[in-house]
């Protein structure tokens, strides 16, 4: 609560979340007997009601005047959100993969192969019965599980291309032969580190509609752009980032400094230029 001369102000949750939300909520209260109403008691009701309309009208004008700066905030917040999205795109980590090599994952007890687009895993669960006489476990069945999925760096965007769970075999060699057959059937997906993306899976490799670096889409050519972030921001903001555009980069400053050092005459050169006494 903030105390003023004859009233109190409550500020409920005023806050700014850049690029997302602006909240301003104020309310006015007064003490029960402050300020003194005695000077108003001799006034005419209609006169006071007329004065109230004037006061409320002034409130409305003040409220309306707030709309313009709020509109400016809305556009600025949209630019902040645009930058947040670009930063999110650039911070997307590279997907982990096995470089098209079959490897065993001890944690999941599966064999896996993957590249920047696809991944495949196979596992065999051996069932058995316990022979009390020999005190040995005797295998009775083998259950094969395999799947081929999209290997995207975006969580929640993976998709299953094909697979089967708990396919039962009573012969181990038959189970292993089936696994080898599945590996050969999808071996064509694992010949490149970053194979072209089928159109149906392209969205899994985009962030805010832009394809992640190093990926291509089947039948589509990448369209390069020469525009810079500063140029786009200045266009959308009416030049609010113009000063940033003119500031030399750190690398630019270093390059300029090195160039100045090359042009500057050495101490020895200055001595040669001095006339003999």
| Claim to verify: residue 250 and residue 201 sit in the same structural domain | no
| Claim to verify: residue 141 and residue 197 sit in the same structural domain | yes
Separation of first and last alpha carbons in the chain? 83
Nearest Cα neighbor of 144 from 119, 163, 128, 161 is 163
| Claim to verify: residue 145 and residue 202 sit in the same structural domain | yes
| Claim to verify: residue 110 and residue 201 sit in the same structural domain | yes
Q: Does a structural domain hold residue 215?
A: no
pTM of the model: 0.74
- Domain end call among 90, 118, 137: 90
Q: Contacts from 131-137 at CB under 8 Å and sequence distance 24+?
A: none
**Model pLDDT, residue 271:** 47
- Domain end call among 90, 113, 146: 90
Domain range enclosing 27: 2-90
Q: Does a structural domain hold residue 161?
A: yes
* Between residues 252 and 59, the one the model is more confident about: 59
Token pair in block for residue 224: 């390069």
Q: Does a structural domain hold residue 113?
A: yes
- Supply angle C-alpha 239, 241, 242, rounded to 5: 65
| Claim to verify: residue 108 and residue 86 sit in the same structural domain | no
Tens-digit pLDDT profile for residues 218-229 = 999 888 889 999
Residues 6+ apart with CB under 8 A from 93: 153
Q: Does a structural domain hold residue 190?
A: yes
Calpha distance 184→97 (Å, rounded): 19
Output the CA–CA distances (angstroms, integers) from residue 104 to 59, 98, 159, in the order listed: 72, 10, 22
| Claim to verify: residue 169 and residue 113 sit in the same structural domain | yes
| Claim to verify: residue 239 and residue 166 sit in the same structural domain | no
| Claim to verify: residue 62 and residue 125 sit in the same structural domain | no
Q: Does a structural domain hold residue 85?
A: yes
Q: Does a structural domain hold residue 273?
A: no
Token pair in block for residue 11: 């500020």
| Claim to verify: residue 16 and residue 47 sit in the same structural domain | yes
| Claim to verify: residue 145 and residue 109 sit in the same structural domain | yes
Lowest mean pLDDT among 23-27, 128-132, 270-274: 270-274
Lowest mean pLDDT among 124-138, 195-209, 243-257: 243-257
- Supply angle C-alpha 146, 217, 89, rounded to 5: 90
Tens-digit pLDDT profile for residues 186-220 = 999 999 999 999 999 999 999 999 999 999 999 99
| Claim to verify: residue 141 and residue 80 sit in the same structural domain | no
Nearest Cα neighbor of 118 from 206, 210, 184, 198 is 198
- Domain end call among 30, 65, 90: 90
Q: Does a structural domain hold residue 250?
A: yes
Nearest Cα neighbor of 213 from 260, 161, 153 is 153
* Between residues 70 and 254, the one the model is more confident about: 70
| Claim to verify: residue 185 and residue 126 sit in the same structural domain | yes
Calpha distance 73→87 (Å, rounded): 21
Helix and strand numbers (H, E) in the chain are 6, 12
Number of domain units in the chain: 3
Q: Using an 8 Å Cβ cutoff, are 167 and 178 in contact? A: yes
Q: Does a structural domain hold residue 220?
A: no
């Amino acid at each position: 609560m903030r105390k003023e001369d004859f009233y109190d102000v409550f500020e409920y949750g005023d806050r700014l979340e850049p690029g997302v939300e602006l909240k301003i909520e104020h309310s006015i209260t007064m003490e029960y007997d402050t300020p003194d109403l005695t000077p108003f008691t001799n006034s005419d009701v209609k006169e006071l009601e007329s004065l109230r309309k004037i006061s409320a009208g002034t409130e409305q004008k003040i409220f309306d005047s707030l709309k313009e700066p709020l509109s400016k905030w809305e556009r600025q917040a949209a630019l902040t959100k645009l930058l947040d999205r670009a930063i999110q795109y650039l911070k997307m980590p590279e997907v982990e993969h096995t470089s098209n090599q079959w490897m065993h994952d001890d944690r999941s007890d599966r064999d896996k192969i993957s590249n920047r687009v696809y991944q495949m895993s196979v596992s065999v669960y051996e069932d058995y019965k316990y022979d009390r006489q020999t005190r040995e476990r005797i295998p009775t069945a083998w259950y094969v599980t395999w799947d081929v999925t999209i290997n995207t760096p975006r969580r929640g965007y993976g998709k299953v291309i094909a697979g089967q769970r708990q396919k039962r075999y009573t012969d181990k060699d038959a189970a292993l032969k089936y696994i080898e057959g599945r590996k050969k059937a999808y071996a064509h997906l694992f010949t490149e580190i970053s194979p072209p993306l089928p159109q149906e899976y392209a969205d899994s490799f985009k962030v805010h509609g832009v394809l992640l670096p190093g990926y291509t889409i089947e039948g589509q050519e990448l369209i390069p752009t020469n525009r810079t972030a500063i140029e786009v921001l200045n266009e959308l903001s009416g030049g609010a980032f113009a000063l940033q555009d003119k500031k030399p980069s750190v690398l630019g400053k270093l390059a300029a400094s090195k160039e100045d050092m090359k042009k500057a005459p050495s101490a020895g050169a200055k001595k040669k230029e001095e006339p003999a006494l």
